[in-house]
Amino acid sequence: MSIKKAEFITSSSVYTQCPPPERPEIAFIGRSNVGKSSLINMLTGRKKLAKVSGKPGKTQLINHFLIDENWFLVDLPGYGWAKVSKTDRSKWGEMIHDYLTERKNLINVFVLIDTRLDPQPVDTEFIQWLGEKGIPFALIFTKADKQSKNKNQSSMAKYRRVLKSQWETLPPMVLTSSETGEGKDDLTDYINYCLQV
Ligand code: GTP
Ligand code: MG
């Protein structure tokens, strides 16, 4: 079932300020500019729900959206943005680390990966960390419209190879484009699955 209603609830700078953890929650994370906010807008069918920008670092806080009066969708600030000062980066680290490890109602994390890039340490290290912490996650490949189908498939295969060398089971992977709507149904189905288990 696709998303019918999406409302912005609040922005928080620490997880303790987040809305009461009374509903299941799914968070979108990934490097700056990977397309988190765009994907949230594509998924909810609301062009301006989450703020999108060509300039990395647009999303700075933990943003909660209430979906279908049933679950929270969370837009997180991106990691690996070189122009952010070291102090800001460690603030980011602390905020996200605490949110991901302490948020009781977090049922899944979507890690967004730019499909055009070869596996990057900043992403694979983050994935490794999620795995070690036992935080459930899926990989969402973004901007599929920017290159050929073959290239998209070979990018995903590269990730599978890297992850297979570290883990016995692979996380779910979904190929998406916020531009064309590719992957919307798969992502919606996967969210519904997460909400049911
Ligand atoms: P931060 O909030 O800075 O961490 O970035 P973000 O991950 O939320 O990225 P955002 O959605 O703001 O998108 C960054 C840029 O990529 C914008 O210029 C978008 O228009 C563009 N973009 C995002 N998704 C897609 C996509 O699927 N296809 C194409 N062609 N462009 C995209
Ligand atoms: Mg954003």
Residue 127's CB is within 10 A of a number of other CB atoms, namely: 21
Q: Please tell me the pTM assigned to this model.
A: 0.93
Range 60-81 average pLDDT: 89
The pLDDT tens digits of the residues spanning 84-143 come to 566 666 767 788 889 999 999 999 999 999 999 999 988 998 899 899 999 999 999 999
The pLDDT tens digits of the residues spanning 136-195 come to 999 999 999 999 999 999 999 999 999 998 888 999 999 999 999 999 999 999 999 999
Lookup: tokens for 176: 């998406």
Nearest to 139, CA basis, from 152, 66, 84, 148: 152
Q: Ligand 1 centre and the CA of 55: distance in Å?
A: 9
Q: Ligand 1 centre and the CA of 178: distance in Å?
A: 8
Range 71-82 average pLDDT: 82
- Which ligand number lies closest to the CA of residue 34? 1
Task: Label residues 14-43 b or e (16+ Cβ within 10 Å = b).
Answer: ebeebeeeebbbbbbbbbbbbbbbbbbbbb
Range 30-44 average pLDDT: 93
Atom of ligand 1 nearest to the CA of 54: 18
> Residue 37: which residues within 8 A CB-CB, separation 6 or more?
50, 51, 52, 53, 58, 59, 75
> Residue 137: which residues within 8 A CB-CB, separation 6 or more?
108, 109, 110, 111, 127, 130, 131, 171
Atom of ligand 1 nearest to the CA of 51: 12
Average pLDDT value for the chain:
91
pLDDT at 197: 82
- Calpha distance 58→61 (Å, rounded): 9
Q: Is 80 left (phi over 0), alpha (psi -120 to 50) or beta?
A: left
Asked if pLDDT for residue 83 goes beyond 60, the answer is no
Q: Is 33 left (phi over 0), alpha (psi -120 to 50) or beta?
A: left
Residue having the nearest C-alpha atom to atom 24 of ligand 1 = 35
Q: Ligand 2 centre and the CA of 169: distance in Å?
A: 29
Residue having the nearest C-alpha atom to atom 13 of ligand 1 = 35
Residue having the nearest C-alpha atom to atom 26 of ligand 1 = 143
The residue written with tokens 């997880």 in the block is 15
Asked if pLDDT for residue 8 goes beyond 90, the answer is yes
Residue 5's CB is within 10 A of a number of other CB atoms, namely: 12
